[in-house]
């Protein structure tokens, strides 16, 4: 079975001084099991992006413990963080692609950092693009692709290094309903291949459009619902916390 892919224990994160304003995340605790599809729901500003940044070690928690694939990331040396990120693919609403580079070049970037040979980079990049149903032979700059295609390129890049975990932060935020469904289906297929998927979205309708194993609700930095924990009691407790920090 192995350790959970992601585990938060009493995690609190403030931006700026802890004494000023409310916490971006307050006493958040949950676990995402290996191979699970976890849906992280919450309105804008609820702390979803902060949570994902903490998993990627782009931010550091003020309190609590975060484990990714069993490793306490606060104890990681600075030099080890890139190696953590190679095991955690990430997709964002704004795609984060090099606009002038072709899809293949964008995907190849994730493999160049591994020091892979050129031929292997080409083969694995092409394979990742085919996985997301894109033609590796597309030579156009990525900025000339549709939003859906750009997001597929971003997902292919996140998958190219064969990560154990895929984090998706509002990946459908810029897409129309048809493309949204395509991307959600793609994320579902990726999860069925064995990759743990954490999908953060503000759109509650996504619940009806994708099969998921776990549902987490964030509100004002507080985890108010975790479908894997005894529902009502937990909900009451977290609502009480929410009242305390609001």
Partner 1 sequence: MTSALSVLRAAGYSIRRGLQGMRETPLVQLLAVATTAVCMLLLAVIVLAWLNVRGVFQGFGVDVPIAIYLAEGAPEEDVQQLRARLEALPEVDRVELVEAEAAMQRLADGLGGERSLLEGIDAKILPRTLELHLDPEVPEIFSHALAQRLEGFAAVDEVALAGAWATQAHTLIDTLGHLVLWAALLVALASIAIVWNTIRLAVYARRAEVHILRLVGGTTRFVRGPFLVEGALQGALGAAVALGLVYVGFRAIEPFLREGLSFVFAASSLRFFFPSEVLVGVALGAGVGVVGSRIAAGRSIEQ
Binding residue (CB under 8 A) for partner 1 from 10, 60, 72, 113? 113
| Residue 208 Cβ vs partner 1, minimum distance, rounded to whole Å | 30
Query: 126 phi and psi, to 5 degrees?
Result: -60, -40
112 binds partner 1 (CB under 8 A): yes
Instruction: Tell me if residue 220 falls in helix, strand or coil.
Output: coil
H-type alpha helices, the chain: 48-55, 81-85, 103-112, 118-131, 147-160, 177-192, 206-209, 231-245
Looking at the Cβ atoms of 113 and 245, the one nearer to partner 1 is: 113
Q: Does 76 bind partner 1 (CB under 8 A)?
A: no
Work out the widest C-alpha separation in the chain, in whole angstroms. Answer: 56
- Taking the complex as a whole, the smallest distance from the CB of residue 107 to partner 1 amounts, in Å, to 10
List the structure tokens of 245. 């920090």
Tell me if residue 120 falls in helix, strand or coil.
helix
In the set 9, 34, 63, 86, which binds partner 1 (CB under 8 A)?
Answer: 86
Closest among 190, 240, 196, 235 to 214, alpha carbons compared: 196
- Phi and psi at residue 131, to the nearest 5°: -60, -35
Window of 2-10, 27-35, 95-103, 138-146 that interacts with partner 1 by CB under 8 A: 95-103
Q: Give the interface size with partner 1 as a residue count (CB under 8 A).
A: 25
Rule CB under 8 A: say whether 132 interacts with partner 1: no
Q: Does 189 bind partner 1 (CB under 8 A)?
A: no
Q: Does 15 bind partner 1 (CB under 8 A)?
A: no
Q: Is the dihedral of CA 68, 70, 75, 78 positive or negative?
A: negative
- Of the pair 17, 78, the CB lying nearest partner 1 is at 78
Residue from the set 1, 79, 205, 233 that interacts with partner 1 by CB under 8 A: 79
**Helices H, strands E: what count in the chain?**
8, 10
Q: Are 120 and 111 in contact (CB under 8 A)?
A: yes
Residue closer to partner 1 (CB basis): 58 or 244: 58
* CA Rg value for the chain: 18
| Binding status of residue 96 toward partner 1 by CB under 8 A | yes
- Closest contact distance (angstroms) between CB of 88 and partner 1 is 9
Is residue 153 a contact residue for partner 1 (CB under 8 A)?
no
Report if residue 56 touches partner 1, rule: CB under 8 A.
yes
What are the residues binding partner 1 (CB under 8 A)?
Answer: 56, 58, 78-79, 82-86, 90, 96-98, 109-110, 112-118, 157-158, 161
């Amino acid at each position: 079975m192995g350790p959970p892919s992601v585990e938060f224990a009493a995690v609190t994160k403030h931006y700026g001084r802890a004494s000023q304003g409310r916490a971006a995340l307050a006493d958040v605790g949950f676990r995402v099991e290996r191979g699970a599809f976890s849906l992280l729901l919450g309105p804008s500003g609820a702390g979803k992006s902060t949570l994902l940044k903490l998993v990627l070690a782009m931010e550091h928690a003020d309190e609590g413990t975060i484990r990714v694939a069993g490793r306490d990331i606060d104890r990681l040396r600075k030099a080890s963080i890139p190696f953590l990120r190679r095991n955690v693919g990430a997709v964002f609403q704004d795609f984060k692609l090099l606009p002038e580079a072709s899809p293949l070049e964008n995907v190849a970037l994730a493999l160049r950092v591994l020091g892979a040979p050129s031929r292997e980079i080409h083969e694995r990049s092409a394979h990742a693009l085919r996985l997301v149903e894109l033609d590796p032979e597309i030579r156009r700059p990525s900025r000339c692709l549709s939003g859906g295609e750009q997001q597929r390129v971003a997902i292919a890049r996140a998958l190219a290094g064969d990560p154990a975990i895929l984090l998706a932060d509002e990946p459908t935020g810029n897409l129309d309903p048809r493309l949204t469904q395509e991307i959600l289906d793609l994320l579902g297929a990726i999860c069925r291949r064995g990759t743990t998927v954490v999908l953060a979205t503000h759109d509650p309708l996504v619940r009806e459009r994708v099969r998921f194993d776990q549902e987490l609700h964030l509100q004002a930095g507080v985890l108010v619902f975790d479908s894997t924990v005894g529902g009502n009691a937990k909900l009451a407790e977290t609502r009480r916390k929410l009242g305390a920090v609001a």
